[in-house]
Chain A
Amino acid sequence: MSIINYASREIQFKIVYYGPALCGKTTNLNYIHQRINPQNRGDLVSLATATERTLFFDFLPLNAVVIKGFVTKFQLYTVPGQVIYNATRQLVLRSVDGIVFVADSQWEKMEENVESFRNLTENLTRQNMSIDEVPCVLQYNKRDLTNIAPVNYIEYVLNNGKKRLQSFEAISSTGQNVFAVLNAVSQILLHKFSKQNEVPRATPLAIAIPAENVMPHDENLTV
């Protein structure tokens, strides 16, 4: 849970990148770490195996001035995607304020995407939280590959809850829409704490993908 320190005028928020194994969660944090102004970030900490698979979590602290009079600290975490590390995912989800669910767009990964999303909702429920209440954005990653499912299909299998989540196509390895996703989840969670509670719609950047896969899908509607 976020907390405001009036003495230092700081607010902290925790954003977790969640998704199946090898979907690109760590790549998102790597890109943000490389491309953000170094004055606005700390070190990227990775607790990984010798083969670069996330063992515990990756962690990247970011600073921003987005709320009048306060320094806002965003702490980005990834979870280990491998199925066996569910206990670790539960630990990292503790006190989460916002979630980016990274889905792998490849056809053969759809089952893993669905299973990981189900695992996310179960782990939130264990913490007395609900996917409908926690600010969450979907990132459909790896849109540059050839064997990918159309966006409307991924929407159908993942974004079918009571509340339609905002979703973005992305290529985390080249950084396309990586910042758009981070900004979208940050704005949603900030406005969760505002009186008006209305989030301005984020506009995803155009992304270079095969024409037959382009579908309009920017939704933030409650059905």
Chain B
Amino acid sequence: MNPIPVLTIQDVAMLDGVLADFLKKTEAELTIVIDRGGNVISQFGDMDLMEVTIVAALAAGSFAATRELARRIGEIEFNALYHQGNGRHVFMNSVDDDTIMITVFGSRTTVGLVRFYSAAAAQNVANILKSLQHDGHGLIFDATDISGAPIFTDANQASS
């Protein structure tokens, strides 16, 4: 029996507060906090821009893939990565050993500004996540809460 880590409504509000302040200062479009496995922990900004789940999975992969490159030049990992596009860019920075912050921004701001404010934002996010680990709240379901029906069905077979 293993509890699943929980982000309470208060935790989410605190994280949203940090991310909203970060977006306001930088004029970036969207910021996502993910774990290094690609799971989304928190997100704030214009979610219609892209499919956040997929961006999170790809960003986690991208961040992890450069780790070996960092090791080859004597670093443990790169603390930050920047992908420059024509109109839209992505900045990723390490929050702690398990967490990464992704920021998507356009021409209204600069990578320097995003980089500058991301350090403080990452520190604030790390502090909130650290307090969650100390509080140790988790959730365990009752088996009756879980649907007994097949979770996923083949649409063609179900309709035939």
Contacts and interface: CB of A to CB of B under 8 A. Distances in A.
Interface in B37-75: 37-42, 51, 53-54, 57-58, 60-61, 64-65, 68
A62 B66 CA distance: 28
A183 B150 contact: yes
A43 interface: yes
A179 B152 contact: yes
A40 B155 CA distance: 11
Interface residues of B, number: 47
B146 A6 contact: no
B151 A66 contact: yes
B152 A200 contact: no
Contacts of B111: none
A208 interface: no
Contacts, number: 156
A91 B155 contact: no
A45 B51 CA distance: 11
Interface in A159-200: 175, 178-179, 182-183, 186-187, 190-198, 200
A1 B143 contact: no
Contacts of B146: 66-68, 187, 190-191, 194
B45 to A, nearest CB: 15
Interface in B138-157: 139-143, 145-148, 150-157
Nearest to A10: B40
Contacts of A192: 2
- Most A CB contacts (10 A, CB to CB) among B7, B8, B12, B37 go to B37
A14 B7 contact: no
Interface in B7-28: 7-9, 11-13
A14 B38 contact: yes
A70 B10 CA distance: 18
Contacts of B139: 4, 193
A200 B58 CA distance: 34
A127 to B, nearest CB: 10
Given A3-B35, A195-B140, A35 B156 contact: yes
Given A14-B39, A61-B53, 11 more contacts: A3-B4, A6-B11, A12-B39, A65-B147, A72-B151, A94-B36, A95-B37, A175-B154, A187-B151, A193-B141, A194-B146
